[in-house]
Structure 1
């Protein structure tokens, strides 16, 4: 038996389950539509019919602050760092010098991203 067959079978079962779940929800799910459910979700900001950024004399449509995205990217960077640091810390003795060098390069790479974010002002909370 080929070694990839169990992985392919698991992938097929997962895909079939996803398609079946969506089909079943559309078939038997409640269909009570109202005005609030049909409106676009704007992260808690009331949607306006004006263009984003507004025009001359239009104070209602303002740009969404980029600070939100910088903070989200910072969270992702450090969240992924912890995901990689934890298994390394658990098996530190077994990895030897190669593991130490690889993790030093990884921490250096993440530190460069941290320094970039710091220089761009992503850590100042105005």
Structure 2
């Protein structure tokens, strides 16, 4: 039979973490209700977006170029995340690592040129 007592510290940690997180979430809500600071009005219960009331349906579709720009941003953000460790370890990985990164950057430049060519970056 397996000795489960070795898992007791992990179980205690999870119970304490769940208890504290619940306390930090629900205690302020309860205190605000008890002290009277919870006074909903029509203005407090309305939707709030960018400082002005919503003027369209919340389910309206965005232009696909919005998503293309977002994806391009993520790709180039990840590229920067790959460049830092590559630059730090360049002395150890040698010419093979350098050539591999140049191939990676070339692929990104080709993709960027393609996106530029089809007009994905132009906003009307």
TM category (shorter chain) comes to 0.5 to 0.7
More helix, by proportion: 2
- Aligned pair count? 104
Partners in 2 of 1:27 and 1:109 — Cα distance? 50
The match for 2:27 is 28
**Gap change, CA 1:104 and 1:24, over 3 Å in 2:** same
Q: Which runs of 5+ in 1 are unaligned?
A: 1-8, 54-62
The match for 1:105 is 103
Larger-Rg structure? 2
Q: Which runs of 5+ in 2 are unaligned?
A: 1-9, 33-37
Alignment of 1:43-82 (within 5 A): 46-48=53-55, 50=57, 52-53=59-60, 63-82=61-80
Partners in 2 of 1:21 and 1:33 — Cα distance? 27
Quote how far apart the aligned CAs of 1:27 are.
1.7
The higher relative CO (CA closer than 8 Å, separation ≥ 6) is in 2
